[in-house]
Amino acid sequence: MISVKNLKKTYFLGGEEVHALDDVSLSIKEHEFVAIIGQSGSGKSTFMNMLGCLDRPDSGEITLDGTDILKCKEKELSVIRNKKIGFIFQQFHLLPKLSALENVELPLIYQGMPTKKRREKAVKALKAVGLEKRMNHKPNQLSGGQQQRVAIARALVGEPSLILADEPTGNLDSRSGKEIMMLLHN
């Protein structure tokens, strides 16, 4: 599913050279559940952004589901992000003027899915994360944990082959966290 070879990424912060990724290599098979752990500033988010086609390394190789993503043009990367990758960001990135249901529908809109089918899939995804009674609420009307669940539903709704999650249970109690991890596993 994923092959990463000799990935390097260096940033320059305040005149100082920071090696966010230094010769990282790994393979992840289909259906594997992998956690990347490390201290703050160790390159976890940088690595996730590389896998998610949001950033490019200085050198190395990344193959995602048979595609060399470093050879893809931005338009191709956009299609890959939309159809193959579900993102669960630490900061949620929900659009404040949209309801939970509309936020979950967004990736399906970009895929060009017809309204009726898109709505059905979004409702199903929100039910799966326990938010069937909060679908029409805007993000500011939801708790942090509920916003996290909306973000998870949005990541899962398009049935991506890869889910990239940055602390997906960070704002949930332990019971809810276990439920979400089971949902992601399934």
Convert the pLDDT of each residue in 43-89 to its tens digit.
Answer: 888 999 899 998 999 999 999 989 999 999 999 998 898 888 988 87
User: 171 pLDDT exceeds 70?
Assistant: no
Q: How far apart, in Å, are the Cα atoms of 126 and each of 30, 120, 153?
A: 25, 10, 6
- Burial profile 100-109: b = 16 or more Cβ within 10 angstroms, e = fewer: bbbbbbbbbe
Cβ atoms of 70 and 56 within 8 Å: the answer is yes
Cα separation of 149 and 101, whole Å? 12
pLDDT attached to residue 38:
85
Question: How many contiguous H segments (helices) and E segments (strands) does the chain have?
Answer: 6, 6
Give residue-wise pLDDT tens across range 108-131.
Answer: 998 889 999 999 999 999 998 889
Q: What is the DSSP letter of 29?
A: -
